Amino acid sequence: MMSRKTIGILGGMGPEATAYFFELLIKNTKAACDQEHIPILIWNNPQIPPRTDAILHKGRSPWPLLRQGLDVLEKAGAGLIVMPCITAHYYIPQIKRRVQVPFVNLLEQSTDYAKKAIPGLKKAGLIASSGTVASGLWHRTFESAGIEIITPNRTDQEQVMEAIFGRRGVKAGFTSGLPKQAILRVARKLIRRGAQAIIAGCTEVPLVLGPKDIPVPLIEPMKIAALACIRKAGYKIKESKS
């Protein structure tokens, strides 16, 4: 049997996405009692500077506080580390040089999933922060697998940012109404442009967009990575009742 590991979550970007990821780990682990669940360490630091601002050269780098969180988790005994913030994956090169334990990459896990679960996928629509879009993270990862990425036009991208970061956006605690309507509207436009799947490319997106909301597959990196973490930690996935 694979040796069991404690999962370390580098979170706070934002707190609700971190809580959602934690919940995904709990709900998808095969466990009949408390003692059969995975030991999990969470470093939830919402003071980490905005990742999009840093990538677009409009704000401070989040790297010093990301580095601090990595150190805390590793010293506390994390056997693997995961970061439920896709935009912060921009700092993957520094992260891999910093930590000695395995790091679970949401983009790589999602690419592997897409190749296996959606045969024939050639074009995927991306709903993500402007920083993530500008970084080309998804483009490089998916296009290396032969999958084209299409993104919203400028006006629609502004609506995505407002839905996530606005005063009544997801990060402000609003997960219904206008934020959901805006994300769904953008997703439908991408589908009309030929997207055969939609990538929830920001960790707040699945808080307002579910698989049943759209007529094509939803690639949800948070759930995909949570299942990968469960396996890599040496535990079993709970079978779906559906």
- Domain containing residue 81: CATH number: 3.40.50.1860
Give 236's contacts (C-beta < 8 A, 6+ positions apart). 29, 30, 230
Residue 45 shares a structural domain with residue 135: no
Peptide bond preceding 136: is omega within 30 degrees of 0, i.e. cis?
Answer: no
Residue 149 shares a structural domain with residue 63: no
Residue 205 shares a structural domain with residue 117: yes
Query: How many structural domains comprise the chain?
Result: 2
> Does any domain span residue 120?
yes
Sign of CA dihedral 184, 185, 189, 190: negative
Q: Which domain holds residue 202?
A: 107-220
CB atoms within 10 A of CB 39: 13
Catalytic site positions:
85, 202
| Structure confidence at residue 239 (pLDDT) | 87
> Does any domain span residue 2?
no
Residue 176 shares a structural domain with residue 87: no
Residue 181 shares a structural domain with residue 127: yes
Comparing CA positions, the residue from 60, 80, 58, 59 lying closest to residue 70 is 80
Give the chain's residues under pLDDT 70: 1-2, 241-242
| Structure confidence at residue 51 (pLDDT) | 92
User: Whole-model pTM?
Assistant: 0.90
| Structure confidence at residue 58 (pLDDT) | 94
Q: How far apart are CA 141 and CA 113, in angstroms?
A: 12
| Structure confidence at residue 23 (pLDDT) | 97
> Does any domain span residue 158?
yes
